[in-house]
């Protein structure tokens, strides 16, 4: 080996007589990642999160959903299993997402415009775009 630091390679490690030696964890912390802008990563992630606009249903589709809800209300004592796709508005920005909830209907409230499932999920009737249930297939 012949290099500019060959004369230093065999020298003993310097130990300070004034400062105590750092623990390995403290030395490692000096080289850990540093986030200069706290919270910036969360802002970037939120900005990148996608939402979809709310679809406007045709009158025929709205009437079909109303008919299905009426049929389900007639059979609510049977505790019908349903799968409902509905629009869930985003709390932070415009738009939202379409989600599907499945379960047993607990209550259908036309006055408040809410359908409540046994698991506690509350769905605004105006947000529903699709309803599937064995009760509906028999009734058709």
Contact in structure between 114 and 125 (CB atoms under 8 Å):
yes
Q: Answer with the residue of higher pLDDT: 106 or 5.
A: 106
Q: How many helices (H) and strands (E) does the chain have?
A: 4, 5
**pLDDT confidence of residue 85:** 97
**pLDDT tens digits, one per residue of 39-48:** 888 888 888 8
Query: pLDDT class for 36, splitting at 50, 70, 90?
Result: confident
Q: How many CA atoms lie within 13 A of 109 on its CB side?
A: 12
Token pair of 72 as six digits: 């389900």
Least confident of 13-17, 59-63, 102-106, 119-123: 13-17
- Domain 59-139 fold is SH3 type barrels. (2.30.30)
If one compares 39 and 115, the residue with the highest pLDDT of the two is 115
User: What is the domain partition of the chain in residue ranges?
Assistant: 59-139
Cα–Cα distances in angstroms (integers) from residue 1 to residues 7, 10, 73, 98, 100, in the given order: 11, 13, 88, 67, 69
């Amino acid at each position: 080996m012949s290099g500019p630091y060959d004369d230093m390679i065999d020298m003993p490690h310097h130990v300070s007589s004034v400062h105590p030696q750092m623990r390995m964890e403290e030395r490692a912390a000096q080289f850990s990642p540093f986030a200069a802008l706290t919270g910036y990563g969360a802002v970037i992630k939120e900005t990148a999160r996608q939402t979809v606009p709310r679809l406007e249903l045709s009158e025929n589709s709205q009437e079909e959903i109303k008919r299905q809800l009426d049929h389900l209300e007639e059979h609510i004592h049977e505790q019908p299993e349903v799968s409902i796709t509905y629009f869930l508005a985003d709390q932070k920005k415009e738009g939202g997402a379409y989600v599907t909830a499945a379960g047993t209907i607990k209550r259908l409230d036309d006055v408040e415009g809410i359908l409540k499932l046994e698991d506690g999920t509350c769905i605004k009737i105006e947000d529903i775009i699709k309803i599937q249930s064995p009760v509906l297939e028999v009734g058709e």
